[in-house]
Amino acid sequence: MSSFVQEITIGEIQEGLASSQITARSLVAAYLERIESMDWNNFGLRSVIETNPDVFTIAHELDREYRQNGPRGVLHGVPILVKDNIDTGDRMLTTAGSLALADSPAPKDAFLVERLRAAGVVILGKTNMSEWANFRSTHSISGWSARGGQCCNPYVLNRNPGGSSSGSGVAVASSLCVVSVGTETDGSIISPAAVNGIVGLKPTVGLISRSGVIPIAHSQDTAGPMGRTVRDVAILLTVLAGVASNDPATKKNIHSLDFTKFLDPEGLSGARLGVARKFFGSNAEVDRLINQNISIMHDYGAEIVDPADLPSHGRFDDSEAEVLSYEFKSDLNEYLKGRGDSVGVHSLAEVISFNEEWKDEEMPYFEQERMVEAQKKGPLTERAYLDALAKSRRLSRDKGIDAVVKKHHVDAIVAPTRGPAFLTDLVNGDPKSISCARPAAVAGYPHITVPAGYVRGLPVGISFFGPAWSEPTLLKIAYAFEQATMARRSPRFLPITS
DSSP H or E segment with residue 305:
strand 303-305
Classify residue 453 by its DSSP letter: E
Classify residue 494 by its DSSP letter: B
The dihedral over CA atoms of 274, 278, 282, 287, expressed in degrees to the nearest 10, equals 30
Q: C-alpha angle with apex 35: 34 to 38, nearest 5 degrees?
A: 70
The answer to whether 213 and 204 are in contact (CB under 8 A) is no
| CA 140 distance to own-chain centroid | 18
Backbone torsion region of residue 197, taken as left when φ is above 0, otherwise alpha when ψ lies between -120 and 50, otherwise beta: left
Rounded-to-integer distance, Cα 275 and Cα 308, Å: 5
453 phi and psi angles, rounded to 5 deg: 145, -160
- Closest alpha carbon to 343 in 214, 257, 470, 434: 214
First CA to last CA across the chain, in angstroms? 30
Residue 184 has a CB neighbour count (10 Å cut-off) of 29
DSSP H or E segment with residue 462:
strand 458-465
Rounded-to-integer distance, Cα 466 and Cα 233, Å: 18
Q: Annotated catalytic sites, by residue?
A: 83, 164, 188
